[in-house]
Amino acid sequence: MKKIKTIYNYIYYTLYKNAEKSPTLFSYNFVADVSIDFLGIITFFSLIYYFDIDLGKGAYIVSVIVIILFNYFIFKHNNNYKNYIQEFDKLPETKNNKYRLIVWIGIGGIIFNLIYSVYFMDQRARKNQIGPYAPEVVTKERREDSLQKAQQIENLKKIYGEDNKK
């Protein structure tokens, strides 16, 4: 459990150091807080998409608030993030570079995972014929498309004067 906490703290450290290198209107710790909250929310929604869990709107909001509060108490409460920054600043540069690379690969994996989970959810909807792929929705769209095409043909006939030829 201690290793997981250290990894999580190092992710925050990496986001904080990245914020220091970037021009920003906000404090570095705020940027790191928002970034780690965003990563947590992305991970949460990816899991929801994979397992096709239908939570009510209120449960989604509560989940996001829980993620934000969790990160608040780990990093912001009593300015704990300052201790983590000082601790990881003491690491040798080669070790820091290695860990930083691992963190960025992990962040890329989280973002890829979200994209894939949305794709997976779309494929499941196609297979199960639900959502936009439900038979009644598809039939309605085809009917609307047919009517629209018929109107376009009538408009073209008027433009080219073919409606008067008989």
pLDDT 10s digits, 83-119: 999 999 999 999 999 999 999 999 999 999 999 998 9
User: pTM for the complete prediction?
Assistant: 0.75
Q: 24: number of CA atoms within 13 Å, CB side?
A: 15
pLDDT tens sequence across 28-65? 999 999 999 999 999 999 988 888 788 888 999 999 99
DSSP 24: -
Tokens 């959502």 belong to residue: 131
Distance, in Å, from the CA atom of 83 to the CA atom of 60, rounded to the nearest integer, reads: 32
